[in-house]
Amino acid sequence: MTQYLDRPGLPRLAYELRDGDGPTIVFLPGYGSDMAGSKAVALDAWAEAHGQAMLRLDYRGCGQSEGVFGEATLDDWRDDALDAIDHLTQGPLILVGSSMGGWLMLLIALERSTRVMGLVGVAAAPDFTEWGYDEAQRAALASDGLIVSNHPDYETPEITTRAFWESGQAKLLLDGEIPIDCPVRLLHGLDDSDVPPSIAFRLGRALRSADMQTMLVKGGEHRLSRPGDLGLLLTTVAALIESL
């Protein structure tokens, strides 16, 4: 059942919290996505069946949460997730980040290193403000403060604001060592046209963790939401929890 986290002076956040054994799984959606996506729902059903604690949430301006999407930055969405984690969970965590959520899971793991026991990235997209926009889009952001693009996976146009882009540029990770030591599993489709598989390799090299595995999915696209893709996600999370 959807509940709301009240925060004085900040938008209320919609969330669903499942009680169960730890570590608590925290699902972090991608850009413009929410906690009702197929990966989040499949993982929640698995958690219910196995008695595992899990938290899903919508960032401000997304899904059922309050706020305006176009006014939010990467920092805002990181802080939303941290607020939900700090107020709603206790003990060890497993972070599962999809696309932009994979960038957020890294930023959160750096902030809560004593609690985060493992990471699972699904088409993780760290630093996408750096490699995901061409020169024309960068020029439009600089001059107009906004770009609008159509994406085949979404019914409505996708917007990016200068404030969001600048917040991402201030949080780049891939060009240096990322001081995260917990186990990391990265799932990435070889046919991902949004996040090149090379990003998974760059991330794997940048992470300090010695327990890092990258799994490439032949025929897999960015969403990795086919039945086999979802099965791989569930078995990966289960195996990671079992190994702790």
Active-site residue list: 99, 192, 222
Closest CA to 43 of 16, 7, 74: 16
**Helix, strand or coil for residue 191?**
coil
DSSP 4-70: EEEETTEEEEEEEEE--EEEEEEEE--TT--TTSHHHHHHHHHHHHHTEEEEEE--TTSTTSSS-GG
Q: Radius of gyration of the chain from Cα atoms?
A: 17
Structure tokens given for 111: 């902030």
**Measured between alpha carbons, how far is 239 from 243 in angstroms, rounded to an integer?**
6
Residue in the block written with tokens 């004085």: 8
Helix-then-strand count for the chain, H and E:
8, 10
